[in-house]
A and B are shown apart, each in its own frame.
Chain A
Amino acid sequence: GAVVSQHPSWVICKSGTSVKIECRSLDFQATTMFWYRQFPKQSLMLMATSNEGSKATYEQGVEKDKFLINHASLTLSTLTVTSAHPEDSSFYICSARWGGPLTQYFGPGTRLTVL
């Protein structure tokens, strides 16, 4: 099956620093990648959709200057949380889609803790 990886799996950083999370599709080319965020005991919330070579589309309420998304190739998308604060602590999950439009493959997630 299709495999999506994320790196790092967990990260702890100080308030005010920036953190980059990578999402890779290992065995397929992903035309579209999605970034989700999940707070404890809450559901996954779509943050943004990115297509290779174009600007990401952000959901309402998500600050595009704070959450920078770069989808530079068909196998890699990155999410940078700039000037992270404790309220950004969350579980960030990416997913990648290829070919058939109705199935997304999820990465294992990245646990971000901001002190």
Chain B
Amino acid sequence: QKEVEQNSGPLSVPEGAIASLNCTYSDRGSQSFFWYRQYSGKSPELIMFIYSNGDKEDGRFTAQLNKASQYVSLLIRDSQPSDSATYLCAVTGGGGADGLTFGKGTHLIIQP
């Protein structure tokens, strides 16, 4: 059974600093990796996805994937109070036919 592990936090980061969120997954067959942000009482919203080993940057966000270590991370630069939320790591298998397997999420708090 696929498992996705995240530190539940809370992770507290000063405003303007870099927030680093980590995730490990159990299924070596996983091929696509996603980071979602979820505010309390709301559904998740996609921040980034990554398929290949290495880094992928989009604005203030950088996703990093290391398939050999089964490790995915998300860096948030210049953290803002509005970034305070729960960040969910999710994986899916090949072809995207499967639904997503989510981690429990990391609660991020950006301190003004």
Could you mark each residue 35-57 of chain B with 1 if its beta carbon is under 8 Å from any beta carbon of chain A, else 0? Answer: 00000011111100101000000
Partner of A93, one of B32, B43, B95, B103: B43
- Contacting residues, chain B, for A34 (C-beta < 8 A): 99-100
B: residues with CB less than 8 A from A are: 1, 32, 41-46, 49, 51, 88, 92, 95-105
A: residues with CB less than 8 A from B are: 32, 34, 36, 42-46, 49, 59-60, 91, 93, 95, 97, 100-104, 106-109, 111
User: B interface, by DSSP: helix, strand, loop or mixed?
Assistant: loop
Would B32 and A44 count as touching, CB distance under 8 A?
no
Would B44 and A101 count as touching, CB distance under 8 A?
no
Would A102 and B101 count as touching, CB distance under 8 A?
no
Cα-based distance from A106 to B100 in the complex (angstroms): 11
Expressed in whole angstroms, the minimum distance between the Cβ of A41 and any Cβ of chain B is 8
Do A46 and B97 contact each other (CB < 8 Å), given the known contacts A102-B49, A102-B92, A109-B43? no
Do A43 and B42 contact each other (CB < 8 Å), given the known contacts A97-B96, A102-B96? no
User: Can you identify 11 A-B contacts, CB atoms within 8 angstroms?
Assistant: A32-B97, A42-B104, A43-B88, A43-B103, A43-B105, A49-B99, A93-B43, A93-B44, A95-B99, A107-B43, A108-B42
Cα-based distance from A108 to B46 in the complex (angstroms): 13
Cα-based distance from A114 to B104 in the complex (angstroms): 24
Cα-based distance from A104 to B41 in the complex (angstroms): 19
- Contacting residues, chain B, for A111 (C-beta < 8 A): 41
- Contacting residues, chain B, for A42 (C-beta < 8 A): 104
Would B99 and A106 count as touching, CB distance under 8 A?
no
Would A36 and B99 count as touching, CB distance under 8 A?
yes
Q: Which residue on chain A has the smallest CB distance to residue B103? A: A43
Would A43 and B99 count as touching, CB distance under 8 A?
no
16 additional A-B residue pairs with CB within 8 Å, beyond A49-B99, A108-B42? A34-B100, A42-B104, A43-B102, A44-B88, A44-B100, A45-B102, A46-B101, A59-B99, A93-B43, A97-B96, A100-B96, A101-B97, A102-B32, A102-B49, A102-B51, A106-B43
